[in-house]
Amino acid sequence: MFELFSPIKCLLSREPVTIDNIVFRLHCRMTVIILTTFSILITAKQFVGDPISCIADGTIDKESIDAYCWIYSTFTIARHLRGVPGRHIANAGIGQGLPNDEIHHHRYYQWVCLVLALQAIVFYSPRALWIVRERGTVALLSRDLTSPLLRDVWSQERKEQLVEYFATTHLHAHTYYALSFFFCEILNFINVIVQILLLNVLLEGQFLKYGSSVVEFESETKPFERVDPMSRLFPKVSKCTIYTYGSSGSVQTKDALCVLPLNVVNEKTFVFLWFWLIFLAFAGAVAIIYRIIVLTQAHARIYLLRASTRTVPLSQIQTIVKTLNFGDWFLLYQLSRNVNPIVYRELITELANKFSGKYYSHVA
């Protein structure tokens, strides 16, 4: 069974270079892993039983009934969703129907595994876009500088190359680089909101309140007086109506009782996804607010750069932030996660000396 999860091994491997932040990884890596795992679990029918098993009067073979009810959907009766199974009702949503009864047809669970797989692809898209735009810039600048043994790699020549890159060659040339990352962060937030709304459409308008309804239902002292939101969306037992022709050519109606063991997995999957997507939406909103503050407030950039180089004097940090624009600062801050702390402190010190006027003629 573990061989089924081989496609997600690449997402679990540690990246040699960090080009994003934790919220970005929650959207584009952790969520993709979660969605892919759920999709594989639901697809692997042989490990959770057949997706549907129907019982009829025996005049039609079981395989045909199962196939028909899986394709054309099953249904439950809203009036029979309340009550204690075995006492008030046969099962949640199962009972004798009346002409005016509200019928809930369940067609969506056939597509759950495909929807989850497509969601995983969509959630990974902003990361793929950022990788294309980033073009290995951080990896190139930080090459071989993560090792604690710096004697052979952190030479005076290498130090001068990095200083020249930020101070002269590409000064004020990384604005589009930083805005591209900000754009991908916005895409992450928009994507999670759109995914929540699309799941709400798929699940008959019930997903927006699904998680909160489940928590409220489970906390009830008399839950049989309320509709179980999990049984409403993902019934474990449902009905199916089959129309056939009799020997005389007249239409015959046959009822089948269908057991849906796969919905035991589906209902828990979407409870988890509800809480996870709500958390992602909140985290994405906080990330955007944070990015706007860093973009517009120089004091925030000073604080963050000082936090990554605690031993560097504040005056040097202020000199660097004053000289670099937001894009240059963003790339310099990205390096702090990818190089040896000693290398980074020396780079910051050299840049501060360059910008202070000792060795640098300030560029207007």
363 assigned to some structural domain: no
CA pair distance 113, 42, nearest whole angstrom: 6
30 assigned to some structural domain: yes
Residue 362 contacts residue 171 (beta carbons within 8 Å): no
In order of 42, 78, 271, the CA distances from 229 in angstroms are 20, 12, 10
213 assigned to some structural domain: yes
61 assigned to some structural domain: yes
Q: Which residue has the higher pLDDT, 35 or 12?
A: 35
Overall number of domains in the chain? 1
238 assigned to some structural domain: yes
362 assigned to some structural domain: no
Residue 254 contacts residue 244 (beta carbons within 8 Å): yes
pLDDT at position 141 over 80:
yes
Residues in the chain, overall count = 364
pLDDT at position 6 over 70:
no
Find, among 88, 112, 89, the residue nearest to 269 by Cα: 112
Q: Which residue has the higher pLDDT, 357 or 361?
A: 357
Mean pLDDT of 316-337: 92
CA pair distance 135, 144, nearest whole angstrom: 18
pLDDT digits 0-9 by tens, 160-198? 888 899 988 888 889 999 999 999 999 999 999 999 999
Question: Residue 49 contacts by C-beta under 8 Å, 6 or more apart in sequence?
Answer: 261, 262
364 assigned to some structural domain: no
Q: Which residue has the higher pLDDT, 220 or 337?
A: 337
Question: Residue 115 contacts by C-beta under 8 Å, 6 or more apart in sequence?
Answer: 199, 202
SS3 content of the chain, % helix, strand, coil (to 5): 60, 10, 30
Residue 254 contacts residue 225 (beta carbons within 8 Å): no
> How remote is the C-alpha of 214 from its chain's centroid?
21
> How remote is the C-alpha of 135 from its chain's centroid?
24
pLDDT at position 356 over 90:
no
274 assigned to some structural domain: yes
Find, among 181, 165, 185, the residue nearest to 283 by Cα: 185
Report for 39-43, 89-93, 200-204, 291-295: range of highest mean pLDDT: 291-295
Give this prediction's pTM.
Answer: 0.85
Amino acid at 56: A
pLDDT at position 361 over 70:
no
pLDDT digits 0-9 by tens, 25-67? 999 999 999 999 888 888 876 455 678 888 877 778 888 888 8
Instruction: Determine the structural domain holding residue 270 and report its residue range.
Output: 2-356
pLDDT at 85: 67
pLDDT at position 299 over 90:
yes
pLDDT at 364: 41
